[in-house]
Amino acid sequence: MTPRKPPTAMFEDIRFALRSLRRAPGSTLAIVLILGLGIGLNTAVFSLYDGIVVRALDYTHSERLVFLQQYAEDDAGQAFGFSPIERADYADLPGLDALEEFHTMSFTVLGLDEPVRVQTGVVSASFFQTLGVQAQHGRLFREGEDAYEAAPTVLLSHEFWRRQLGADPAAVGRTLTMNDRAHEVIGVLPPMVQLPNANDLYITLAHCPTRSNPDNYGRRDFRLLQLVGRTAVGVDAETVATQLATRAAALRTSHPGDYPGERPPRVEAQPLKQVFAARFTDTGQLLLGIAALVLAAALANVANLTLSRLARRSAELGVRGALGASRLRLARMLLVEHLLLGLAGGLAGCLLASLAVGWMRDHALDFTPLAADVGLDWRVLGFALGLSLVVGCLVGLLPALGSGRLKRPLLAGSSARGSSEALPARRLRAGLIVAQLAISLVVATAASLMLRSLAALHAESPGFRIDQVVSARVEMNTASYRELPRRIAFVDGLRQRLAAAPGIQAVSVSLALPMQASGAFMETAVSLPGRGDLDPAQLPAADFRIVGEGYFDTLAIPLRSGRAFTAADDLAGRPVALVNESMARAYWGDRDPTGHSLLPAMNMSGFTELAGFEVLGVVGDVRQYGLRDSEGPAFYVPYRQAPMRQVRVTVRGPGGEAALKRSLHEAVRAEDPNLPVDQLLTLGEVRDADLAPTRLVGWLLGWFAALVIGVSAVGLAGLVSFDVEQRLREFAIRMALGAGVPGLRRRLLGQALRLVALGVGIGAVGAWLVGLRLESRLFGVGSADPPSFLAAAGVLLASAVIASLLPTRRLRALSPSSVLNDA
């Protein structure tokens, strides 16, 4: 019989660690939970940052994919697109081995259970091959299928295929009608992050009515397209940038009329991932930094707990040392014990992260489509494991180092209480508490600043009514509504139906909805006919907005002077406009613009020749592009003079938002059952979407602050409790000499408040620095906002007082005689 091998030293250390942890279930559970919160929080934030910013795209050779953007001269602001001719101009650059075009349109699809409005990507035939994407079912577009004579085909996104077609593989080969043409479904894309943006369907450029219009193709200023390129093998970004600049300069020389200004347009090629991660990068770094602070506070708390456990176990470990255990062996045993605690905390953290990451991912989609790919994968779990091991080593470092200084008591009942090491140990624990409190103040101030900004945004008036208003997007198809009178007739019929519906007080249409419009896509230069004293180049550009009669009444936008639009303001009458207050001030100063004329460089109206719009009056400013953005110059023209196929139908009434949505949907279907209704939203939902990025950061920081303050309060309560335990004999003597419990409690509270004051003093510097870091995100509050700091400090102080007083309740049951007799 083979003799059993003796267990290894490491196995013995693990057994010892498990026995020690079982003997103190309360402190073990507390340490695991605190570490789990810190590790879980960091794991969830890391998963978000890794998925959006760090991880490579799931495209072949994704590191070579670039996104081209064009700016006017040296303007680093709003980028504009490329025309089809410009794509050809840049396609033959030697630094690029492919250059694909992309733009997005909304179309109506027939052939499903009911008409569906779909977001449609219009791409060149080799777009997906350049990205390196393979079809999950069927095939991709082939070479030549973007030629105008090619048969119409369509690719389905994975989400649309699953949602609308029940994930049926037989969908390939099915026919869907779009733009009055039958399109064969040739394939289904795999689940993936869609860039430049998510779409339901994809068609080739030959079958987009706008892109294939010969009148548009020859125009260099028809800048509808986005361009995605792939750099040639071995070509770096600087080489491509030089080639783009050289080509842009040549185009400026050969086509001066298409590129106004003294310098050529600036064309950049940035990594595709970087472009779409940019909006989240700063936010992600901020969240990582705050999460690291929370983990640091958790570590300080756990270090305090381990020091307290070490003090209570000094006799046990001293006996082991007296029996021959070396200092190295004791240190190793304690380190193994805390590594196990770190791993257990990591496991708890992964469970917490799995619950939090889905919520964070859904909200991060308001920043970037890259958030759709966020999840707990092997990279994130590896991060959690590594963090757990590091945390275990750090929390085990103090006990391991302290093991060499343990006394070796030989008498039963001997204790380290009152030893010469009590004061240094107490100071160390107090220092850890001060660090926690300082970190808590920093995080709480950051949360207070963001939440006050969120409250200020909520309180900000958008310039129009929010409650009891519902809007939906309706787009008339090209074939049935090609003629302008047909569009006006549909809108009139729809308005009549809605006006007759119960619970509806006002109805109107517009091209865009305030707070939902994205970018100044209707911005145009404006001149004032008859004003030779004004240089049009010195006037600011203005937004061109199209609205129906009753629009300002529906949204309760005030009419400051003049009159609003009526049904008589149509194509048979003179062109008219209303200007907002900002435009009135910028263009006419203190004079009333009513009766004057304005002439936009962009003509979106139905008039083929335009001498100018007569200004009927002035209306109030609205926050067209979001609550953070102040209103600029804008003018409105009546829908009857600019009847677009796509409209936003808006209704107001006291009948309840659900009833308003139902009435609006039913009215559109009754007027034309082939038209879909989408983006059916209340204006409250539109405002919530505008606030979503601020809300995400504010609420996350709020939860982080609550967590770190709670951890600090637990740590402070533990320190006071340990102090009471270690000083029971001292307190018994004081009570025997006449001291009362209230006095002792005030003494302990005073000691705790001194630590709080020191933590607040140190944390104030960090709070000021984090305020500067948040400055660009704040609204209505400054980076050094006293109310935010005082609110954070007040919450911290209240939690510290409660945490300090709770452990002192033990003094009420203290019997001086029993304590002194036991001593």
Q: CB under 8 Å to 697, separation ≥6 — which residues?
A: 283, 286, 287, 450, 777
Tell me whether residue 63 is in a domain. Answer: no
What pLDDT shows up at residue 812? 66
Per-residue confidence at 566, pLDDT binned at 50, 70, 90? very high
Encoded tokens for 810: 């033990």
What pLDDT shows up at residue 5? 46
Reported as a single tens digit per residue, the pLDDT across 691-732 is 888 888 888 899 889 888 888 888 787 777 777 766 667 666
Tell me whether residue 684 is in a domain. Answer: no
Per-residue confidence at 190, pLDDT binned at 50, 70, 90? very high
d(CA 483, CA 485): 6
For residues 410 and 430, state if they share a domain: no
What pLDDT shows up at residue 61? 84
Total domains in the fold of the chain: 4
Q: Which domain holds residue 247?
A: 73-264
For residues 288 and 248, state if they share a domain: no
Residue 420 has pLDDT above 70, yes or no: no
Least confident of 389-393, 434-438, 668-672: 389-393
**For all residues of the chain together, what is the average pLDDT?**
83
What pLDDT shows up at residue 400? 57
Amino acid at 68: L
For residues 98 and 212, state if they share a domain: yes
For residues 567 and 549, state if they share a domain: yes
Reported as a single tens digit per residue, the pLDDT across 307-359 is 766 666 555 666 565 655 566 666 677 777 778 888 888 898 899 888 888 88
For residues 130 and 145, state if they share a domain: yes
For residues 406 and 428, state if they share a domain: no
Tell me whether residue 792 is in a domain. Answer: yes
Domain end residue (candidates: 399, 416, 433): 416
Domain end residue (candidates: 232, 264, 296): 264
Tell me whether residue 466 is in a domain. Answer: no
What pLDDT shows up at residue 745? 74
Per-residue confidence at 418, pLDDT binned at 50, 70, 90? very low
> Is the omega angle on the peptide bond into residue 196 within 30 degrees of 0, that is, cis?
yes
CA atoms within 13 A on the CB side of 709: 26
Residue 218 has pLDDT above 60, yes or no: yes
For residues 229 and 161, state if they share a domain: yes
With tokens 């009514």, the residue in question is: 465
Tell me whether residue 470 is in a domain. Answer: no
For residues 793 and 698, state if they share a domain: yes
User: In percent, how much of the chain has pLDDT > 90?
Assistant: 28
- The helix/strand/coil state of 472 is strand
H helices of 177-313, in order, are 214-217, 237-254, 272-312
User: In percent, how much of the chain has pLDDT > 70?
Assistant: 84
Least confident of 107-116, 123-132, 463-472: 107-116
For residues 134 and 234, state if they share a domain: yes
In this structure, are residues 150 and 208 in contact, taking their beta carbons and an 8 Å threshold? no
What pLDDT shows up at residue 409? 44
412 versus 114: which is more confidently predicted?
Answer: 114
Least confident of 143-157, 322-336, 598-612: 322-336
For residues 454 and 349, state if they share a domain: no
What pTM was computed for the model?
Answer: 0.78
Tell me whether residue 279 is in a domain. Answer: no
What is the 8-class DSSP label of residue 793? H
Residue 414 has pLDDT above 70, yes or no: no
Amino acid at 83: S
Per-residue confidence at 416, pLDDT binned at 50, 70, 90? very low
For residues 613 and 757, state if they share a domain: no
Per-residue confidence at 817, pLDDT binned at 50, 70, 90? low
Domain end residue (candidates: 386, 416, 446): 416
For residues 638 and 505, state if they share a domain: yes
Residue 388 has pLDDT above 90, yes or no: no
Tell me whether residue 471 is in a domain. Answer: no
Tell me whether residue 621 is in a domain. Answer: yes
